[in-house]
């Protein structure tokens, strides 16, 4: 039984709030805060309608730790769930340290002025959280998050050594928009337009953005083209999986999406470098974000499904083993339950369960941890009950690339 502060009122913040409201035995009181309190109030109204729970809301500019410290002291939560922008991670961690509050997030820190996400800044807080007796759990969404836990589960129960991992993220849904991103447009486009990167034979190797592609037949989604990208969970899994020789991340994109993205990139609309317009500095990507559909607005008319999982190869009892574990999530079902599309849902549900395990004392240990460093068993035993069941298979054929 605990109070929780949720920071961030976008699509993922909405799902986390709804799911925390469902877990009433753990999350007895909920405060949702964001820069725009009206967004929080809209979510609170929805939570009262769908979950029959009343939550509190507050306005918060989390860029400045002083603001978050003041709110934490007033609310006195046991845990902060950070689903705000990745730029704010360190400021919120500072506020948690200053107030003796546990911390959990879904995405690692990246500087606002450079499209580069990396765990080193948050890992540097490890000793501070240990000394304070506080737990900080990083990357507890789906990817990163549940995919990391799939790997930890496989390492614990299916392999003596994991030699290769391919994380594959497919969205086969349709929202009916000409061009829209399924989570924060600024973060999404910064991520996709970076150079691809994967780890092989002890070193990182780079590719041109979205230059490596292969089709794959995803269960309940069909054959989709998936493209190699760099994604943050690769960095921590390289450190925490035994015997790893290669790890890659793949995501599917339709041609309409890629065509729009290339045009926007070619005309400079995806740039994060400020330009002068009518005497003011504006960032083209931030302007683009303002005119694109908001991710939380896509859910009502979203159809189709997602399929996200890990294709893992290695050795068990001296024998080669191939193993594939994945989740399929239905956009329409997510809307019916929590008024969300499946991308936000698959990120928000693991965040709630990770927070629940921390507050229940199961995932609580001082320091800063990626989720694969926690015991996967309690998470895997319960995640299906909260809406994200998993499927295990033993494929006969290797991946096509």
Provide DSSP, 107-170.
S----TTS----SHHHHTTHHHHHHHT-EEEE--BTTTBHHHHHHHHHHHHT-SEEEEEEEEEE
The pairing of strands 367-370 and 305-316 is unpaired
At 219 the pLDDT is 98
User: How does pLDDT run across 252-294, given as a tens digit for each residue?
Assistant: 987 777 777 777 777 787 887 888 888 888 888 888 878 787 7
Which carries the bigger pLDDT value, residue 305 or residue 302?
Answer: 305
Q: Nearest Cα to 306, choosing from 353, 384, 251?
A: 251
At 242 the pLDDT is 87
Given a cut of 90, is residue 142 above it in pLDDT?
yes
At 183 the pLDDT is 61
Q: Is the pTM of the predicted complex or chain greater than 0.75? A: yes
The total number of structural domains that make up the chain: 1
Tell me how far apart the alpha carbons of residues 109 and 101 are, in angstroms, rounded to a whole number. Answer: 19
Residue 199's CATH number: 3.30.360.10
Tell me how far apart the alpha carbons of residues 171 and 71 are, in angstroms, rounded to a whole number. Answer: 37
At 299 the pLDDT is 64
Do the domain assignments include residue 62? no
Which carries the bigger pLDDT value, residue 387 or residue 194?
Answer: 387
Given a cut of 90, is residue 374 above it in pLDDT?
yes
Residue with tokens 């609580």: 364
Which carries the bigger pLDDT value, residue 370 or residue 253?
Answer: 370
- Overall average pLDDT of the 53-75 stretch: 98
Do the domain assignments include residue 165? yes
Range of the structural domain that residue 224 is part of: 146-329
Do the domain assignments include residue 360? no
Do the domain assignments include residue 19? no
Q: Nearest Cα to 33, choosing from 22, 63, 23?
A: 63
At 325 the pLDDT is 98
Q: Nearest Cα to 333, choosing from 300, 308, 381, 294?
A: 300
Mean pLDDT score of the chain, rounded to an integer? 93
Among 42-51, 65-74, 298-307, 348-357, where is mean pLDDT lowest?
Answer: 298-307
Do the domain assignments include residue 279? yes
Do the domain assignments include residue 349? no
Do the domain assignments include residue 180? yes
User: How does pLDDT run across 245-254, given as a tens digit for each residue?
Assistant: 999 999 998 7
Residue with tokens 């996967």: 376
- Overall average pLDDT of the 188-204 stretch: 87
At 285 the pLDDT is 80
- Confidence bin at 182 (pLDDT 50/70/90): low
Do the domain assignments include residue 373? no
Most confident of 113-127, 256-270, 357-371: 357-371
């Amino acid at each position: 039984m605990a109070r929780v502060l949720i920071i961030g009122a976008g699509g993922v913040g909405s799902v986390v709030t709804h799911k925390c409201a469902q877990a009433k035995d753990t999350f007895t009181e909920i405060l949702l805060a964001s820069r725009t309190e009206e967004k929080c109030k809209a979510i609170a109204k929805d939570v009262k309608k769908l979950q029959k729970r009343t939550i509190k809301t507050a306005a918060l500019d989390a860029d400045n730790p002083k603001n978050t410290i003041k709110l934490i002291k007033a609310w006195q939560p046991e845990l902060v769930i950070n689903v705000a922008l990745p730029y704010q991670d360190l400021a919120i961690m500072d506020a948690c340290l200053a107030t003796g509050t546990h911390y959990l997030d879904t995405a690692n820190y990246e500087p606002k002025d450079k499209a580069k996400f990396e765990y080193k800044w948050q890992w540097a807080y490890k000793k501070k959280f240990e000394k304070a007796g506080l737990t900080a759990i990083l990357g507890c969404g789906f990817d990163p998050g549940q995919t990391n836990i799939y790997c930890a589960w496989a390492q614990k129960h299916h392999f003596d050594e994991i030699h290769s991992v391919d994380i594959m993220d497919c969205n086969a849904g349709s929202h009916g928009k000409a061009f829209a991103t399924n989570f924060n447009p600024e973060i999404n486009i910064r991520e996709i337009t970076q150079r691809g990167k994967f780890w092989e034979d002890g070193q990182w190797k780079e590719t041109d953005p979205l230059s490596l592609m292969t089709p794959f037949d995803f269960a309940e989604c069909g054959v989709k083209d998936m493209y190699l990208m760099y994604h943050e969970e690769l960095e921590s899994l390289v450190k925490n999986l035994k015997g790893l020789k290669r790890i890659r991340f793949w995501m599917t994109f339709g041609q309409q999406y890629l065509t729009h993205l290339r045009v926007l990139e070619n005309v400079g609309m995806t740039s994060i470098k400020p330009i002068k317009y009518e005497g003011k500095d504006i960032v083209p990507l931030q302007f683009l974000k303002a005119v694109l559909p908001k991710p939380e607005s896509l859910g009502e008319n979203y159809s189709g499904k997602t399929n996200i999982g890990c294709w893992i190869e290695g050795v068990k009892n001296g024998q080669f083993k191939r193993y594939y574990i994945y989740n399929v999530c239905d956009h329409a079902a997510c809307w019916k339950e929590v008024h969300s599309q499946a991308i936000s849902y698959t990120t928000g549900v693991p965040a709630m369960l990770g927070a629940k395990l921390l507050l229940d004392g199961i995932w609580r240990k001082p320091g800063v941890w990626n989720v694969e460093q926690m015991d996967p068993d309690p998470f895997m035993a319960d995640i299906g009950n909260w809406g994200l069941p998993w499927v295990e298979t033993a494929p006969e054929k290797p991946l096509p690339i």
